Amino acid sequence: MAASSADVEVARDAPREEDLSRCVHCGLCLNACPTYRELRVEMDSPRGRIYQMVQVHNGAPITDAYREHIDLCLACRGCETACPSGVQYGRLVEAARAEIEQRVERPWAQRALRSFVFQRLLPSRRLLKIAGAGMLLYQTCGLQKFVRASGMLKLMGRLGEIEPLAPAVETPFFYRHIGEVFPANGERKYRVAFLSGCIANISFARLNEATLRVLQANGCEVTVHAEQTCCGALAVHAGLREPARRQARQNIDALIDGGFDAILTNAGGCGSTLKEYDELLEHDPQYSEKAKRFVSLTKDVNEFLAAIDLNTRMGEVRATVTYQDSCHLAHGQKVRSAPRNLLAAIPGLTLKEMRLADLCCGSAGIYNIVHTEMSMQLLAKKIDNVNATGADVIATANPGCMLQLRAGVEKYGRGQKVAHVVEILDQAYRAADTR
């Protein structure tokens, strides 16, 4: 009997035998896994999760226990760095989540919420602007301050736990710049496209503007293309590959034939997915080759700046800084030295390494919302390591990490400032202009 199209789709997105068989079960990944370090449960380690994936691949049912173990994974990909066999665990866990999503029907309310968030809200500028306006009203009219001061959060259950993790809204939104082209300062050396993200247009508008200024200071003409959309990373992590494919196709159509020297992002998590569009669209005959070209042009902004002749006309930034690796930048994209080299190039700045800088802070997309308790356990240890450095600034390269670290400083820290590497560079360039 011929397989149905639905069966073919499930098989296409499920973990592949050739990927599963790379794991030799040596266990060298265990200490790199945040959930295993916390729980010491084999089934919550990369090796244990791969063992379970193999059982499902061989015909075992998808049980609630299997779903829980896969869902508890942060998909931080630290195990990939530790693995001597080249196991592509990130691809495996995303495939396992896609298979679960396709084979197991969620309750109606969950399906409706996930459909709204991943398929309607994140790709829609209009809906995100409405959501941003609502959050702005809550945060500025005194209601947020009242709710937090009154102790009401303790009575609000899960909502009370996640409310402190909500991103602050920054006005004016970055949406006003979408569709614009920003000229290079002085001689134009590069033409680049900047992907501004989805939520970042509302909650990290100043970071996006700082990114534009730093690129301009380094001879870049920067296009913020009007037809760009959400990168699809959160949908991929949730197992919703078809919505992510639609978003990937839209970004490819918008940018691939623009004659750009590079396509840039300032979000480590987004960049990891953007660089894997070729895997996401490998079975699409119209887009597979386009996706490969897109991937070849895509770079994290730190990676790009560290590879060019960096403009060193900077003023002093007198600060002691420790760098927290974005998991998807360090383990997914293998970019580690670039952010550190950029920070080291700033006059007056002292860089102090923290212990376990590349161990996940617990943000992991929406993980801190879905698994708040585990997320906070990881965050507490991360801030302990930050505190031990004596640094007054925590630098990182991903907006999600920034949100998490700010919450950590509020709860466990010593008043440290949290900043993106590009924001610190921008501070140095602006200091030079005022001399």
Domains 5-103 and 319-433 share a fold: no
Pick the CATH number of 5-103 from 3.75.10.20, 1.10.760.10, 1.10.1060.10, 1.10.357.10: 1.10.1060.10
Q: What is the pTM of this model?
A: 0.93
List the CATH code of the domain at 319-433.
3.40.50.1860
pLDDT of residue 6: 52
Average pLDDT per run of 10 along the chain, which is 435 residues long? 53 91 95 96 97 97 96 96 95 96 92 90 93 88 76 65 78 96 96 96 97 98 97 93 96 97 97 96 96 98 97 96 97 97 97 96 88 93 97 97 94 96 97 78
How do strand 181-182 and strand 349-351 relate by DSSP bridges? unpaired
pLDDT of residue 157: 64
List the chain domain ranges: 5-103, 108-165, 174-307, 319-433
pLDDT of residue 156: 63
pLDDT of residue 158: 61
Specify the CATH class of 174-307 in words: mainly alpha
Q: Are 426 and 400 in contact (CB under 8 A)?
A: no
pLDDT of residue 2: 47
